[in-house]
Chains A and B, each alone.
Chain A
């Protein structure tokens, strides 16, 4: 996901990717608007996390886990709960990830995914209030990439969306100045659903769902959060300093909306399959 254009990539690799694109082909044989095989597996941390999902996007894989805690509301929104997304790029997932505190790529990943959730108002935080000014639910969705082969943002955004959609947590009531568990389980107050779709520009070509090798030679990428009504809820141009033309942006949006519809279907099917169990 990050900007790995600074990694030394051989001129032969760079030219090979570019020449193939000029001939209308991608290194893994996909069409420019074709995504890698996408799978969602939910409840992978069923015993400890309130919600969890593993997403595979080709050879990229990501786990997102949701914890729902009790906490005090922020001073400027005393009657609203808290929704927060974080990410760690553990070196387990890629030889490119280094040990140490989160660097820009991890921070960007978390913030971009967070914006998709927040700006689409996926969670109705007003319903996460137990006692205004005193106790609210705090929802943390934490992202752990397991295998990085490009396009962590889309994989993470999908994993977070799937985990939030399937989260079950303990209900609390305010009694005599403290929060008491009722023994009931709740779903999160989901009022929208958004997923992020990334398009890379390499030379004058636009490719959706870039693989790692494509990311390493890309000029830039554009990530778009699209909600269930095909509305754009957040965007991020990153992955390199290369500029985009207005036409390229429009084409990217068209690709993203179509892909987002497929992903929304996939989330729905996943939830349905779980209910049957």
Chain B
């Protein structure tokens, strides 16, 4: 409820932002995989003060039935903010904003998924914003993409996302809350990690064509960095799972291969 006031400047005379970052600097990002035990897949993201949880359930049976798609799974994304995640208490009922963001998140993730593997089923992505401090839709995509992988949903690629924008004539990467509110424009983006194709793009504020192209370029650079963080977070979580007993690595090969029903495949070659 603290009274919010516009900061005197968003970029100080030294060229640094309100939280001391350079214009092309991201906030610290912490990604964790497998944080919610009831879900089939889950992840959390802390990006500055933004804190978001994502849970994936499914593929599972779809209710209500009339939503069923016969040749692929239905991807259902629900983005919700906790009442206490923002300075003023958010009303508990879903807002129009939350519904639109749910839709653009679904569209950002869909091209990355092999939904045709699960006709008639649903893959549910539930996103809960616990603390909102700018860039929540992009942070949500970063976490949701990990939660989908954690659930074992087949996917072409992970999907990193970031918001770029502008304040006081300078292009900025990873907008904070104040830069979003008082700055000169916001461009949330997401891309397919493998190809770089853009799957989320929105814009507000005012940009010249050259400015926007440059801003998007900065976004792509930032997303490549986030993609590496996503890969690391997944590998960290799963390497831990695989190596619960790290005692006997050297003996590993035959035992695993045969016991997974892989007997009698000859001619193994290695790199």
Within the complex, which residue of B93, B124, B127 is in contact with A101, where a contact is CB–CB below 8 Å? Answer: B93
Q: Is A181 an interface position by the 8 A CB rule?
A: yes
B84 contacts A95, C-beta separation under 8 Å: no
Q: How far is the CA of A142 from the CA of B49 in the complex (A)?
A: 20
Instruction: For the complex, count residues of A whose C-beta is within 8 A of B.
Output: 36
Q: How far is the CA of A65 from the CA of B89 in the complex (A)?
A: 10
Closest to A67 in B: B89
A91 contacts B57, C-beta separation under 8 Å: yes
B53 contacts A65, C-beta separation under 8 Å: no
Rounded to whole Å, the gap between the CB of B122 and the closest CB of chain A is: 11
A90 contacts B130, C-beta separation under 8 Å: no
A93 contacts B84, C-beta separation under 8 Å: no
Q: How far is the CA of A94 from the CA of B130 in the complex (A)?
A: 17
A90 contacts B128, C-beta separation under 8 Å: yes
Residue of B51, B86, B89, B126 contacting most chain A CB atoms (<10 Å): B89
B interface secondary structure, majority: loop
A-B CB contacts (within 8 Å), total count: 95
Q: How far is the CA of A92 from the CA of B53 in the complex (A)?
A: 9
Within the complex, which residue of A48, A90, A93, A149 is in contact with B132, where a contact is CB–CB below 8 Å? Answer: A48
A140 contacts B133, C-beta separation under 8 Å: no
B82 contacts A142, C-beta separation under 8 Å: yes
Q: How far is the CA of A66 from the CA of B39 in the complex (A)?
A: 26
A65 contacts B84, C-beta separation under 8 Å: yes
Q: Is A45 an interface position by the 8 A CB rule?
A: yes
Rounded to whole Å, the gap between the CB of A151 and the closest CB of chain B is: 14
| Residues from 114 to 130 in B contacting A, C-beta threshold 8 Å | 124, 126-128, 130
A45 contacts B85, C-beta separation under 8 Å: yes
Instruction: Note all chain A residues with C-beta closer than 8 A to B126.
Output: 90-92
A146 contacts B53, C-beta separation under 8 Å: yes
Q: Is A47 an interface position by the 8 A CB rule?
A: yes
B84 contacts A170, C-beta separation under 8 Å: no
B83 contacts A140, C-beta separation under 8 Å: yes
- The chain A residues found within 8 Å of chain B, CB to CB, are 44-45, 47-50, 52, 59, 63, 65-70, 86, 88, 90-95, 99, 101-102, 140, 142, 144, 146-149, 169-170, 181
A-B contact pairs, 19 of them (CB 8 A): A44-B51, A45-B51, A45-B82, A47-B131, A48-B87, A49-B131, A65-B82, A65-B83, A65-B85, A70-B1, A91-B126, A92-B39, A92-B55, A93-B55, A146-B36, A147-B37, A148-B38, A170-B1, A170-B2
5 nearest interchain CB pairs?
Answer: A65-B84, A92-B126, A49-B84, A67-B89, A47-B49
